[in-house]
Amino acid sequence: MTAPTNPAELYGLNLLQMQIDELLGEVRVPHDSVPTLQAALKKIKALVEATEAMPNKSYPKAVSQLKKKSRVIVPYPVTDKSVRVGFQPPTKVNVVGSYAFQGATRTRFGFNVDVVVPMPDELFATESMGSQAYFSQRAFYLSVLAAALQADKDAQRAWEIKFTLLRGDPRRPIITVRAKPASQDSTDLDFSASNATIRILPALGAVPTWLRIVRRPDTDLPALTDAERAIITEDTVYTTHLATLHRAQQDCPCFRDAASLARVWFSQLGYDNGHDTQHQLGAFHWSMILVHLLQAGGPRGSRLLSNQLSAYQLFRGTLNYLATHDFAAQPVSLADAKASRPVDDSDSEEEEGNGEGSEADTLESHQNAALGGLVLLDPSGRVNLLRTVPTTEMERVRFAAANTMAQLDDQAADHFMALFLQAADAPLLAYDHTSTLARLDAPLADVDPATYASAPFPALVNAQRVQTLLKTALGTRVQLVHVACAPRVTSWDLAEVLDSDAEEDEDKAGHSGTLGLILNGSEANRVVDRGPSPEDPEAYAAFRAIWGDRAELRRFKDGSIVESVVWSSASADSTHLVIVDVVAYLLRQHFSDQAPAFDYPVGRLYNTIQSPIQFKVENHSANQYVAAIQSFGKFVEFLRSLRHLPLDIKDAVPFSAGLRYTSLFPPTNLSAARQGAHLEPIEAHLVFEESSKWPRDLVALQKTKVAFYLALQAAIPRNRGKLIVEQLDLYQGAIGTGAALDVYTGEGYPVRLRIHLPMEEEVLRKVATDSQRPLPVAAQAALVRVYEAHQTLYTRRPWLHGRVQALALVHPVYGQTVRLLKRWAGVHLLGELQVPAELWELLAAAVFLRPAPWTAPGSAVAGFFRTLDLVARFNWKAEPLIVDFNEEMTPAMRQEVEEQFRLNRTRIAEQLARKMQRNTAAKRAHPDQSAVAAAQLTHGTPTAAMFIATVPDLASRWWTAHEPRKVVLHRIVALARATLASSQTAAAAIDPSGVATLASGFVTPLTDYDVVIHFDPHCNPQKETRFDISSLTGRSCLEVNTDSSDAAQQPDKGGRAGPTFNGKATIQRIGLNPISEFVRDLQRIYADTLLFFYDTNGGLAAGAIWLPTVRKPQHFRADLALNTMPIDGATGPQVAVNGPAILSEISRLGAEMIVDMDINRPPPSV
């Protein structure tokens, strides 16, 4: 490792080291810190050692008697009635694992304390010992221990005692002891505060002689299989592994801390979750790998890591080794270098004690017996620690390790919290595409039953088969294919039968698994898979075996004739579902029993952003955004060619969401839209050549601009331009920036042009901030709003446009992510009225630019859910969010952001204190006035509820200074959490109920609003673009993508104008939605009374809530801008808001646009 020399890197490493030291101090579990846990362990030891011996008897009889006496059902079936079992108390009870060598670590799952109970050798008779006898005796021994614990009244009152399967293997049941939830009558045995799980594991003291026998010619007992031999051997090495860890800790002072850090990292990935039933890999394996690297792993057998390294350095070194080492291609052994030879029958057929040839099997034999071919031999040389680890699980951990290494190397940001404190195991967030495989345990015809028997549970074998096929078939489309599965039963009561519930539900669901894909963005959406040439018969046969009838021989433009598979999509948006179509086909072709009726529920989200039916697109599969961009480029060249203007046009700078791939729907031209449809304009700035003749007076400047608009209108072809003047503010007068020119490109795309003059902003700034001008407060505030609107229009939006467009080109799914966010926000009435559209672009950008703990999203649904997760999880009150588009933010800038954030939050507190001080008398009269004052301050103070900083906006004044307000932010966070919860449930569902659950996240409860206004659909030109719940509850996205791909290529029989605009279509007012403008007017009129919520993309209802201030009496003032009425009998001139009159005004203003108004809560009145 090279020492960093850059000051920024040194600062980052020092900060990370301090964070790690603090983390380790929090997660360590010293023995003296949990005395109740120590007491519980002593109690268990005493009860186990005091258990009475039982004479040997037949297994069925022993099981029956134990059930009758103690109500404990032995967790192993009776298959051989000749087996005899008994019980003798152990001579000693050992605590092993991380807790034994002071390495226990608190994670989000708690921690385990492993108690090993060696079973006496006398219980295992050599002459009658076989696999059934051993597993029956082990299960019976465990059941007697469970009965002893359950019989104790103190233990029964304090603990929950259950059976659990070690790593999901039904041959390896264990006992778990957890403290019951703390109560008032808790005892000294209540260790619930520690969140620990005590695991009791039966063990063998040493490798028994009979285990070395492969086959006995003088007995009918079946020979032990490799898996059975390995399981029994694993029961003998607990203390050996403990001794290994102890020696490593003695030699390497930071070994324990490095292991604790790894355990935290594993827990955030979902591993080491308390019972070790879902995963075959964990922090224990990581510790043993570290032991190996402290002894070997380097060139020529040298050690790869030094004993003097810090915990962080050990963690990094082991993580890097894990990310780059292939345990299948390069098996690893922790045992001393000894000559070993394969086991053969001749060695075993000699005498029982002559087992020297089987003391250490060869690496090859271990590899053949391993489920995934992975080998990591323990120090004894007899146990392969990776025997049950499938390749799908190892590859997931290796991918996570490589990703973590990349993020640790990134010194530009602090990834500590994302890597060590944030859970990263939710499939919906961790993978670009995820779905459920319904019957993963259904047997495959080409798999030997012995292979299933060698695995902890059959679904693990099938999971590996599915992963291998998909990885081979998908090739460069994916970075990772992961198939996760867990046993159907993780734990059960002592009096229950193992897997009883699963047997009842076997016909209904089966053993489900989770499929997760992490995509390769540049390759994932290709529609042609090229195969081998027919001249290579082996590769040709293999390709055909995978793709079946879908494969076909094709000739390509480069002259090659190869096997290939061609896919199709219904639209440019649905090309992102091509890979899901591929997976669905492969599962139907090869795993029809394991994945019946495969579906991708969350993929239905793509349906919500499909172009509306009234937009008659010429080519559905073409990218309509690219068509608009190309059309605008041609239009800019046309503008530059104009020569009959006072000044030449240098450029037209766009800043429209439609040209940066983030508008809800692609830009639409006149030839594609029906008559009367809403057309959203492409907004752009006109930049003229420099001239010193522009007037410095703002009024004259605006008039000059209008003259230029008229000259430009006359210079372009007929019916291509129309001058518009937007509504001006009351005090904006003739200096506002409302004038613009609407024109159409050659292809009929509407464009709204505004003239940009750099000197205008400086003049406006001087006027708006001139303290010498004696203007009323309202007039001065209006001038400030004009200046801010000018900045937003001519500086902020173009800057953001360039960054977002570049990001969308680097990450093609970014645009779709923003579109899904805008659709979701609109469904919940969080439109641009309360939430700036640019906010969703910034939030999504934060997810793509800083994706830790994952990689950058490879699908729009992954980006959508991760953005919701960011919104729901981020501490908006205590932290600023930094969005650094081009890695331009220096450490000094980040420090400035922190300072600005502190000032922002301090300013809120100071203003609140001053306001409270002024209202001391009112507070005495109204005890709850503090809450009212806080609400007033939140409503009226321009402070950022969401502090989002960018390079030119370190103080978060550009986008979130005023919106969203605190009450709106709270609603966004609550809705994000609810949507995430329902979507995670939907993604894991294996029946149609998941679709309804997904749709519930896109239904907003209108009863939350005080007032709901319903509009006439005929007054809304965007009514076809509104959200339709059937887009989520209708047909599967896979069916839509397949069925409509052919229809998308059919010509429109209804007839329409060609793609080129011919100037004859009706010129209509673009960008106009009467209902949207009406709701905006209502918000301006009643800004101090009501807060309105509306979906500006075709919404037919608007919600409104009364501000908290209007429900309290107020002192009458001449400038009180409220509809009020006097309060009879009040002391002093007090008035109350006249709510009924306000609602009547709204109804009258809306006229025929309003069809109904729901009053969910009584309006404020006297």
Phi, psi at 1001, each rounded to 5°: -75, -5
CA distance 1098 to 990: 34
- Provide CB contacts within 8 A for 519, sequence distance 6+: 432, 433, 477, 478, 479, 579, 858, 859
CA distance 800 to 839: 11
Sequence-ordered alpha helix ranges (H) in 28-124: 35-49, 59-70
Q: Is the pLDDT of residue 725 over 90?
A: no
Q: Which residue did the predictor score with more confidence, 110 or 739?
A: 110
The dihedral built from the CA positions of residue 1082, 1085, 1091 and 1095, taken in this order, carries a sign that is positive
pLDDT one-digit tens code per residue, 226-267: 888 899 999 999 999 999 999 999 999 999 999 999 999 999
pLDDT one-digit tens code per residue, 747-761: 888 999 999 988 888
pLDDT above 70: percentage of residues in the chain: 82
Q: Is the pLDDT of residue 871 over 70?
A: yes
**Confidence band for 730, pLDDT divided at 50, 70 and 90:** very low
Q: Is the pLDDT of residue 872 over 80?
A: yes
pLDDT above 90: percentage of residues in the chain: 44
Q: Which residue did the predictor score with more confidence, 1062 or 881?
A: 881
Q: Is the pLDDT of residue 167 over 60?
A: yes
Mean pLDDT of 278-292: 90
- Provide CB contacts within 8 A for 434, sequence distance 6+: 427, 428, 514, 515, 516, 517, 602, 987
pLDDT one-digit tens code per residue, 433-488: 998 888 888 888 888 888 888 899 888 999 999 999 999 999 999 999 999 988 77
The dihedral built from the CA positions of residue 1040, 1045, 1049 and 1053, taken in this order, carries a sign that is negative
Q: Which residue did the predictor score with more confidence, 1011 or 759?
A: 1011
CA distances from 797 to 372, 483, 656, 662, 684 (A): 53, 44, 8, 13, 10
CB atoms within 10 A of CB 1089: 22
The structural architecture, per CATH, of the domain 1074-1159 is 2-Layer Sandwich (3.30)
One DSSP character per residue, 675-740 reads TT-----EEEEEEEPP-S-S-SSHHHHHHHHHHHHHHHHHHSPTTSEEEEEPPPPTTTGGG-S-EE
At residue 317, the pLDDT reads 95
Closest CA to 289 of 266, 273, 269: 266
CA distances from 1041 to 54, 106, 595, 666, 1044 (A): 67, 47, 20, 19, 6
Q: What is the mean pLDDT of the chain?
A: 83
pLDDT one-digit tens code per residue, 110-131: 999 999 999 998 888 665 567 7
pLDDT one-digit tens code per residue, 876-931: 999 999 999 988 888 899 999 999 998 888 765 555 555 555 554 444 443 333 33
How many CA atoms within 13 Å lie on the side-chain side of 379? 19
At residue 221, the pLDDT reads 61
Mean pLDDT of 1156-1161: 92
pLDDT one-digit tens code per residue, 793-818: 999 999 999 999 999 999 999 999 99
Helix axes 837-849, 860-873, angle to 10 degrees: 100
At residue 774, the pLDDT reads 61
pLDDT one-digit tens code per residue, 563-605: 999 988 777 777 888 999 999 999 999 988 777 768 888 888 8
- Provide CB contacts within 8 A for 414, sequence distance 6+: 12, 15, 16
Specify whether the CB–CB gap between 1086 and 1122 falls below 8 A.
Answer: no
At residue 909, the pLDDT reads 57
**What global pTM score does this model have?**
0.89
Specify whether the CB–CB gap between 470 and 481 falls below 8 A.
Answer: yes
Mean pLDDT of 775-789: 75
**Confidence band for 220, pLDDT divided at 50, 70 and 90:** low
Q: Which residue did the predictor score with more confidence, 781 or 665?
A: 665
**Confidence band for 339, pLDDT divided at 50, 70 and 90:** very low
CATH of 26-235, one of 3.30.460.10, 3.40.228.10, 3.30.413.10, 3.20.20.150: 3.30.460.10
At residue 1051, the pLDDT reads 40
The two structure tokens encoding residue 471:
């990885």
Peptide bond into 118 cis (omega under 30): no
Specify whether the CB–CB gap between 477 and 521 falls below 8 A.
Answer: no
Question: 426-527+567-600 and 1074-1159: same fold?
Answer: yes
How many CA atoms within 13 Å lie on the side-chain side of 900? 22
Which amino acid makes up residue 951?
Answer: V
At residue 601, the pLDDT reads 85
As a three-state string, the secondary structure of 546-612 is: HHHHHCEEEECCCCCEEEEEECCCCCCHHHHHHHHHHHHHHHHHHCCCCCCCCCCHHHHHHHHHCCC
Do β-strands 881-882 and 948-949 pair in parallel, antiparallel, or remain unpaired? parallel
Q: Is the pLDDT of residue 216 over 60?
A: no
At residue 935, the pLDDT reads 34
**Confidence band for 683, pLDDT divided at 50, 70 and 90:** very high
Lowest mean pLDDT among 54-58, 292-296, 399-403, 1123-1127: 1123-1127
- Provide CB contacts within 8 A for 92, sequence distance 6+: 118
> Is the domain 426-527+567-600 a CATH 3.30.365.10 member?
no
- Provide CB contacts within 8 A for 1085, sequence distance 6+: none
**Confidence band for 1116, pLDDT divided at 50, 70 and 90:** confident
pLDDT one-digit tens code per residue, 688-718: 988 888 888 888 888 888 888 888 888 887 6
**Confidence band for 359, pLDDT divided at 50, 70 and 90:** very low
Give the residue extent of every domain in the chain: 26-235, 426-527+567-600, 847-859+868-1004, 1074-1159
Could you say which DSSP state residue 1024 is in?
G
One DSSP character per residue, 460-528 reads HHHHHHHHHHHHHHHGGGEEEEEEEE--S-SEEETTSPTTHHHHHTTTTT---EEEEEEE-TTTTT-SE
pLDDT one-digit tens code per residue, 500-558: 444 444 444 457 889 999 999 888 888 899 999 988 889 999 999 999 999 999 998 88
The two structure tokens encoding residue 5:
């020399």
CA distance 930 to 41: 53
> Which H or E run contains 450?
helix 449-454
SS3 assignment, position 197: strand
Peptide bond into 89 cis (omega under 30): no
Specify whether the CB–CB gap between 624 and 617 falls below 8 A.
Answer: yes
- The number of angstroms, rounded, from the C-alpha of 101 to the middle of its chain's C-alpha atoms is 36
Task: Name the strands in the sheet holding 513-519, side by side, starting at the edge strand that comes first in the sequence.
Answer: 433-437, 513-519, 478-485
Lowest mean pLDDT among 676-680, 742-746, 1010-1014, 1158-1162: 676-680
CA distance 376 to 1043: 49
CA distance 392 to 480: 9
CA distances from 98 to 87, 167, 378, 523 (A): 29, 17, 16, 44
- Provide CB contacts within 8 A for 875, sequence distance 6+: none
Q: Is the pLDDT of residue 968 over 70?
A: yes
Helix axes 255-268, 7-27, angle to 10 degrees: 90
Give, in degrees to the nearest 5, the angle at Cα 1087 between 1083 and 1091. 65
pLDDT one-digit tens code per residue, 612-663: 654 555 555 457 899 999 999 999 999 998 888 889 899 999 999 999 999 9
Q: Is the pLDDT of residue 380 over 90?
A: no
Q: Is the pLDDT of residue 934 over 50?
A: no
CA distance 920 to 926: 10
Mean pLDDT of 1107-1123: 79
